[in-house]
Chain A
């Protein structure tokens, strides 16, 4: 039987499990085996978006408005599609600048302004306090209800408890203690909490499973599926099934979507899990669909539960916000009721833990530290600042939770869960212009951001916060109905006569008009300062391929030693030392002492500190230990005014000039090639004419002898005629080969590609040349492998190459003692045919040229027979088939001509 004590025991057990998970994840992180590196864990941690508000409140809203609760989840689904640019930008900026909170982010964007960081922090704290109150309310309410198990208390019986009996206060204090244990055990320079993220991901699983369990129980156990429930709903008339265009439903549909889409990026806890705790940019992509899928799943049974609850508790005054818990209770499901309670607890604790940790970081870094640092112009000696920082954060957590409790006492009872949540959403939406426009538009300035934030925040207070107090009786209702001092035009919820809007839409509209209006107006009043321009570029261009390095223009004197001791004060000696050693190694300095005290080092120290105390304070601190020489106005203008354009121009110019250079180089090369070709052509022409003239000369000489002297002897005459015929044949062959070569080179040759068996080819080739060999008494040895070696080539052309090599070998081998060895080998994918002779060989200097036109051993004493075109033609042919031909020779020891061809598969 569940009783108060048992519920507390189970709750504490659950928190202990959470703590164990966090502890385990921290340990794993220390061992370098991070559990939160998984994109799934990242997406689940984002589901901290679903708080007790989702868990209990969605059903409440669905009971009132049907599908009207959906925009809160459709908005994030839509915005998630843009995370590939929006969130990626935020993550990358934050990583490069060690930004640890949304206040820091906005302050950094507009020139690291302390004032801006402080304003954002105040807005965040005041805006989120109602939301925390909501979680406290949910926990204490669900606890009180479950205490009565199996009876179900009505709404009235739960109200107006005296302070000491009100469990909310104890819940707040317990959560504060738990959060302190959880998030501020030690100080981390990058403000990342691996353990916390793992625990939050676990909580996301718990609340999803709990909600689905209740949903399935209600839909399929109590009732008979979705269709049955809707049937009963229409009979009982308990569910609005449409969004009705005529009423304000539609504008709420839009405004809730916009609010939710902004909140999922801008709520401090969402910024914490999505940006600060992100350990790898690639996680974002998976989260783009896993997170919306989570939202879908947790909302699947909202309407069934809302219908079932309204049927079950018709007329009993049970609050629809509690159906998730009261339905299992009404059916005496003890275990399920407890699970439902734990699910709600996990939703609420997850939110409170992350939100207060995020807020405490902001309060410490952007509100308290700047104040302290301003008071201490010189750091008081012997103070360990890492302890001070921790103390500030812990106190901030307690204060924030107590503020939440206070709001709960003041206004909490007057509102349903959903309305409280929306008040917070509207507050953080005020960050949107400064954040999102600032990420894409360089022109936003510090004054613009400040004016926008203040204007939007003022409208929020006036149109939402004060009315929420008025509705709970803390302010006079006159103020709501007739406006301040009876000025009707200023009625908070129909400002400037704009009535008939839902209060949330009304606030969203006016606050955005004033916020964006002031942001643009003040941004456009003057040019950006140096700081703003530098920071704007760092944010806007962060995804560019040549992203700015982040090292600012800085000139001055700095002592590395002082920078280190400054970092040690805030981070603790060990971790500061370690960070500087890593940095020294990355700069290539042998040790920390030899780091150059330049702009980059100062910048490093500043970002390191920014992780612990916020960017604005870090800038102040670093400036206090370094003697920065202000750059002269002219210098700065020269360098930085329109810095980005100048850089873009110069980059463009650089690109163009390098393109020109490249083109010039190419032209030069082409020109050289042309000249060379021209020279080769001249050589070729003179070689050809020379080669033609020799046989022509002898033909002409012998013909003239024959013509002039009819008395010549018959035998002599026959000899001369033989010479003429031989020379004519040589001439014909030469002309044919020139034509052949020209054809091959110009690409006009006809190739008949087929499968050629190289072994068979060699056999035929040897037979054809057999007479030549036997005439000269040269021995011909053929070595063929046993397997068939096939290539894809033109058979006749290949034969031409082989015959050329064979006849050359026959010609050069010494008569009678000559020996020519033809060998075919397979070498993997390569087939190699070699023809080896034992002739005089080819001199080294000729081995390259021998395959060029008319380069036959012109230097050798004995002019060989042949045209000098055989080898060049052979080379063209072999190269055409994708092979190569070469010669190896040691003069006096013969020559080996080898050609290689790629083997056909399976050959």
Chain B
């Protein structure tokens, strides 16, 4: 019970982090015409943030299992 409460709260924290990274003025920092490794920076930023968020969810969720 206690552990699942902790997981829920971690997920809310992660949710807020996701909102910050993808839906705040931070986004405009990466919204440029520049390129990294031949790809537009915004493209790399969005997809890598997305991957990182999914990895964090998986880590939190699966770590709690026995």
By a beta-carbon cutoff of 8 Å, the part of chain A in contact with chain B is 67, 70, 74, 77-78, 80-82, 84-85, 226-228, 230-231, 241-245, 253-254, 257, 285-286, 288-289, 292-293, 296, 300, 303, 545
Within the complex, the shortest CB–CB distance from A173 to chain B, in Å, comes to: 40
Within the complex, the shortest CB–CB distance from B58 to chain A, in Å, comes to: 4
CB pair B7–A296 under 8 Å, yes or no, is no
A226 contacts which chain B residues (CB < 8 A)? 38-39
B54 contacts which chain A residues (CB < 8 A)? 77, 289, 292-293, 296
Selected A-B contacts with CB under 8 Å, 18 pairs: A77-B53, A77-B54, A78-B18, A81-B14, A81-B15, A81-B53, A81-B57, A82-B12, A84-B4, A230-B39, A241-B40, A241-B42, A242-B40, A285-B7, A289-B58, A296-B51, A296-B54, A303-B43
B35 contacts which chain A residues (CB < 8 A)? 230
By a beta-carbon cutoff of 8 Å, the part of chain B in contact with chain A is 1, 4, 7-8, 11-12, 14-15, 18-19, 22-23, 27-28, 31-33, 35, 37-40, 42-43, 46-47, 50-51, 53-54, 57-58, 61-62, 64
Report which of A67, A80, A254 forms a contact with B57, defined as CB distance below 8 A: A80
CB pair B4–A227 under 8 Å, yes or no, is no
Within the complex, the shortest CB–CB distance from A805 to chain B, in Å, comes to: 50
Q: How far is the CA of A684 from the CA of B54 in the complex (A)?
A: 72
Report which of B19, B38, B58, B61 forms a contact with A227, defined as CB distance below 8 A: B38
Q: A77-B54, A241-B40 are in contact. Are A254 and B11 (CB under 8 A)?
A: no
Q: How far is the CA of A174 from the CA of B15 in the complex (A)?
A: 42
CB pair B38–A289 under 8 Å, yes or no, is no
Which B-chain residue is minimally distant from A253 (CB atoms)? B23
Report which of A77, A242, A289 forms a contact with B31, defined as CB distance below 8 A: A242
Q: A84-B7, A230-B39 are in contact. Are A286 and B61 (CB under 8 A)?
A: yes
Q: How far is the CA of A82 from the CA of B50 in the complex (A)?
A: 16
Q: How far is the CA of A242 from the CA of B47 in the complex (A)?
A: 14
Within the complex, the shortest CB–CB distance from A259 to chain B, in Å, comes to: 14
A70 contacts which chain B residues (CB < 8 A)? 46
Q: A78-B19, A241-B33 are in contact. Are A288 and B42 (CB under 8 A)?
A: no
Report which of B1, B28, B38, B57 forms a contact with A230, defined as CB distance below 8 A: B38
Within the complex, the shortest CB–CB distance from B3 to chain A, in Å, comes to: 11
A67 contacts which chain B residues (CB < 8 A)? 42-43, 46
How many residue pairs at the A-B interface have CB separations less than 8 Å?
88
A243 contacts which chain B residues (CB < 8 A)? 27, 31, 42
Known: A227-B38, A230-B43, A241-B43. 15 other contacts (CB 8 A): A74-B50, A77-B18, A77-B50, A82-B12, A226-B38, A242-B32, A242-B33, A243-B27, A253-B23, A288-B61, A289-B62, A296-B47, A296-B50, A296-B54, A303-B43
Within the complex, the shortest CB–CB distance from A83 to chain B, in Å, comes to: 8
Within the complex, the shortest CB–CB distance from B41 to chain A, in Å, comes to: 9
Q: How far is the CA of A82 from the CA of B28 in the complex (A)?
A: 26
Chain B at the A interface: mostly helix, strand, loop or mixed?
helix
Within the complex, the shortest CB–CB distance from A82 to chain B, in Å, comes to: 6
CB pair A81–B38 under 8 Å, yes or no, is no
Q: Which has the most chain A C-beta neighbours within 10 Å: B15, B19, B64?
A: B15
CB pair A85–B8 under 8 Å, yes or no, is yes
Shortest 10 CB-CB contacts between residues of A and residues of B: A227-B38, A289-B58, A241-B40, A289-B57, A81-B15, A81-B11, A84-B8, A242-B31, A78-B18, A285-B61
Within the complex, the shortest CB–CB distance from A244 to chain B, in Å, comes to: 8
Q: How far is the CA of A871 from the CA of B32 in the complex (A)?
A: 88
Within the complex, the shortest CB–CB distance from B25 to chain A, in Å, comes to: 9
B4 contacts which chain A residues (CB < 8 A)? 84
Which B-chain residue is minimally distant from A239 (CB atoms)? B40
CB pair A288–B39 under 8 Å, yes or no, is no
A82 contacts which chain B residues (CB < 8 A)? 11-12, 15
Within the complex, the shortest CB–CB distance from A124 to chain B, in Å, comes to: 27
A288 contacts which chain B residues (CB < 8 A)? 11, 57, 61
Q: Which has the most chain A C-beta neighbours within 10 Å: B35, B42, B57?
A: B57
B11 contacts which chain A residues (CB < 8 A)? 81-82, 84, 288
Q: How far is the CA of A245 from the CA of B24 in the complex (A)?
A: 12
Q: How far is the CA of A802 from the CA of B11 in the complex (A)?
A: 63
CB pair B38–A231 under 8 Å, yes or no, is yes
Report which of A81, A230, A231 forms a contact with B18, defined as CB distance below 8 A: A81
Q: How far is the CA of A254 from the CA of B24 in the complex (A)?
A: 10
B8 contacts which chain A residues (CB < 8 A)? 84-85
Which B-chain residue is minimally distant from A292 (CB atoms)? B54
Q: How far is the CA of A429 from the CA of B14 in the complex (A)?
A: 24
Q: A241-B33, A288-B61, A296-B50 are in contact. Are A78 and B43 (CB under 8 A)?
A: no
Within the complex, the shortest CB–CB distance from B51 to chain A, in Å, comes to: 7
Q: How far is the CA of A300 from the CA of B47 in the complex (A)?
A: 8
A293 contacts which chain B residues (CB < 8 A)? 54, 58
Which B-chain residue is minimally distant from A300 (CB atoms)? B47
Within the complex, the shortest CB–CB distance from B18 to chain A, in Å, comes to: 5
Q: How far is the CA of A70 from the CA of B31 in the complex (A)?
A: 14
B18 contacts which chain A residues (CB < 8 A)? 74, 77-78, 81
Which B-chain residue is minimally distant from A83 (CB atoms)? B11
B14 contacts which chain A residues (CB < 8 A)? 81
Within the complex, the shortest CB–CB distance from A788 to chain B, in Å, comes to: 42
A84 contacts which chain B residues (CB < 8 A)? 4, 7-8, 11
Q: How far is the CA of A64 from the CA of B66 in the complex (A)?
A: 47
Q: How far is the CA of A288 from the CA of B60 in the complex (A)?
A: 10
CB pair B23–A254 under 8 Å, yes or no, is yes
Within the complex, the shortest CB–CB distance from B57 to chain A, in Å, comes to: 4
Q: How far is the CA of A243 from the CA of B33 in the complex (A)?
A: 11
B46 contacts which chain A residues (CB < 8 A)? 67, 70, 74
Within the complex, the shortest CB–CB distance from B65 to chain A, in Å, comes to: 8
B31 contacts which chain A residues (CB < 8 A)? 242-245
Within the complex, the shortest CB–CB distance from B22 to chain A, in Å, comes to: 6
Which B-chain residue is minimally distant from A293 (CB atoms)? B54
Within the complex, the shortest CB–CB distance from A425 to chain B, in Å, comes to: 18
Q: A77-B53, A82-B12, A288-B11 are in contact. Are A230 and B58 (CB under 8 A)?
A: no
Within the complex, the shortest CB–CB distance from A69 to chain B, in Å, comes to: 11
Q: How far is the CA of A244 from the CA of B32 in the complex (A)?
A: 9
A242 contacts which chain B residues (CB < 8 A)? 31-33, 40, 42
